[in-house]
Amino acid sequence: MNDTKLNPAINLERLKSTFDVSSSIGATEGGGITRLALTKEDIEIRDVFVKWLKEANLSVKYDDLGNIYGRREGKNKDAKSIMIGSHLDTLPKGGRFDGIMGVLTSLEVIRTLNDLNIETERPIEIVNFTNEEGERFTPPMQGSGVVTGNYDKTEIYNLRDKDGITFEQSLKESGYMGEIENRPSNVDYFIETHIEQGPFLEENQKSIGIVQGVKGSKRHRVIVKGKSSHGAFPNSHRKDALMAASEIALAIDETAKSYKDLSTSLGVFDVKPSVESITAESVEFTFDVRHIDDHTKDEAIEVIKSKINEVASRRKVEVDFRQTWVASGTYFSKEILDEIEKSVNSLSYSYQYITAPALHDAKFMQDITNTAMIFAPSKDGLSHCEEEYTSYEDIEKVANVLLQTVISLSK
């Protein structure tokens, strides 16, 4: 066997050119991408992606969620496959790398195997999951969520965007409505590469993040009800919903400091009335709590509830507290993680083990097969924005680790 087969490496210039094409579809003035699921921009990148799959001599199919699969057969056609990939959709003014890196590095792995005439024992499959971001149709990760049994297909089909168009209608019009029998089956491993969406790899000067699992998340809606009053009304007698909500927001943030690796965040913050010199009668806001260990997460939520009750009592306001969404913490396959570590060491790349703070398709795929993720550093920890950036040097390293790991597992 020649040296390139003993030490295979991806073609970085080709991978860069693939990113250039992707970055031009839905490009924004600020250097990002707007490519919401099943919009014309998403359909355009899908068409290009399918063309690339066919050029790589892969058999292509779509399932009933519009997930796209490209299959490279192995020596043993009955063997369980290795699936690699992520998603090509973005948020409005999203980044050029995010999950896109997971799809394009997977394509480059296949192209490299073809270049070197490496025939694997197992089949290799690439996937582009539909609507991972969950922006046009909420919740996120719909393509992977339905095929893994985490979401109900009928409910997803009936979701509507802001213009009243249903997911099902958009899928049919896109040309990517496929068959239910094309869903993943006989898959032994799933690996997803992604940017970190956090600062730790960059801060620690590590090239590779070996992802041990994904933090679970519980989302909540809180409505604080007080009594509106004029700004001249004495502070001591007010039932100011905004002041109470502000205290609660700070209490949620403080709670995160009491638990290692716990993440909290606040989202929507709606104040009524929003008028000068008038105190708020009601405030509605959302927050989530994340941790890979569900017990730790639940314990923190109970602490937050206690703090909310204390603030409500002291401020003389009423609070309606409801959980709106839940996803359990997920630990990935040790078998795959060990193979990833071996690949990283063989390439002499720096690395650290890390927990994914955000949800990914891999979180759901773990329910049906052995799963793992590989992270590349994010500059300044930024993601889902036009400023999102991961260097091609780091992308090349992640792609080479994926290549080595796939070859190893394919035996």
Do 337 and 201 lie in one domain? The reply is: yes
- Do 103 and 25 share a structural domain? yes
Please report, for the domain that includes residue 322, its CATH number: 3.30.70.360
**189 and 202 co-located in one domain:** yes
Of all residues in the chain, the percent with pLDDT exceeding 70 is 99
Q: What is the pLDDT of residues 42-85, one digit of tens each?
A: 999 999 999 999 999 999 999 999 999 999 999 998 999 999 99
Residues 322, 196 share a domain: no
* Residue 124 reports pLDDT greater than 50: yes
Residues 48, 183 within the same domain: yes
Tell me: do 223 and 205 sit in the same domain: no
Asked if residue 3 has pLDDT above 70, the reply is: no
* pLDDT, tens digit, 9 for 90 and up, residues 145-160: 999 999 999 999 999 9
Of 265, 299, 327, the residue that ends a domain is 327
Indicate whether 336 pLDDT > 90: yes
Q: What's the rounded Cα separation, in Å, for the pair 260 and 250?
A: 18
Same domain, 27 and 148: yes
pLDDT at 270 over 70: yes
Domain that holds residue 283: 216-327
Co-location of 118 and 184 in the same domain:
yes
Q: In this model, does residue 32 exceed pLDDT 60?
A: yes
Do 269 and 387 fall within a single domain?
Answer: no
Closest CA to 388 of 31, 86, 110: 31
Residue 110 near residue 70 (C-beta atoms within 8 A): yes
The answer on pLDDT for 410 being more than 90 is yes
Has residue 5 got a pLDDT over 80?
no
Question: Could you give the CA distance from residue 411 to residue 407 in angstroms, rounded to a whole number?
Answer: 7
* Strand-strand pairing, 81-86 and 124-128: parallel
> In the beta sheet, which residues pair with residue 291?
216
| Helical H segments across 235-378, by residue range | 241-256, 294-315, 334-347, 361-365
Q: What is the pLDDT of residue 121?
A: 97
Residue 231 corresponds to which tokens in the numbers above? Answer: 């700004």
Q: Are residues 317 and 352 in the same domain?
A: no
Residue 6 has pLDDT above 70, yes or no: no
β-pairing, 124-128 vs 68-72, is antiparallel
Confidence of residue 411 (pLDDT cuts 50, 70, 90): confident
Do 310 and 396 sit in the same domain of this protein?
A: no
Dihedral of the alpha carbons of 341, 347, 348, 353, in degrees to the nearest 10: -20
Average pLDDT over residues 302-323: 98
Q: Which of 57, 84, 85, 86 is nearest to 73 (CA)?
A: 57
Contact 345, 352 (CB under 8 A): no
Do 343 and 284 share a structural domain? no
Compute CA 80 distance to the chain's CA centroid, rounded to the nearest angstrom. Answer: 25
Tally of structural domains, the chain: 2
Between 149 and 325, the higher pLDDT residue? 149
Arithmetic mean of pLDDT, 297-314: 98
Q: Is the pLDDT of residue 2 over 90?
A: no
CATH code at 145? 3.40.630.10
At residue 38, φ and ψ (nearest 5 deg) are 65, 20
pLDDT for 1 equals 43
pLDDT of residue 260: 94
Distance CA 321, CA 308 (A): 9
- Distance (Å, whole) CA 211 – CA 185: 24
Nearest to 238 by CA among 278, 276, 285: 278
- Residue type for position 233: F
The residue out of 327, 358, 386 marking a domain boundary is 327
279-295: pLDDT as tens digits: 999 999 999 999 999 99
Decide if pLDDT at 243 tops 50: yes
Which of 292, 327, 362 lies at the terminal end of a domain, its last residue? 327
Q: What is the average per-residue pLDDT within 122-126?
A: 98
In this structure, how many other beta carbons lie within 10 angstroms of the beta carbon of residue 335? 13
Instruction: Note if the bond before 8 is cis, omega within 30 degrees.
Output: no
pLDDT, the chain, mean = 96
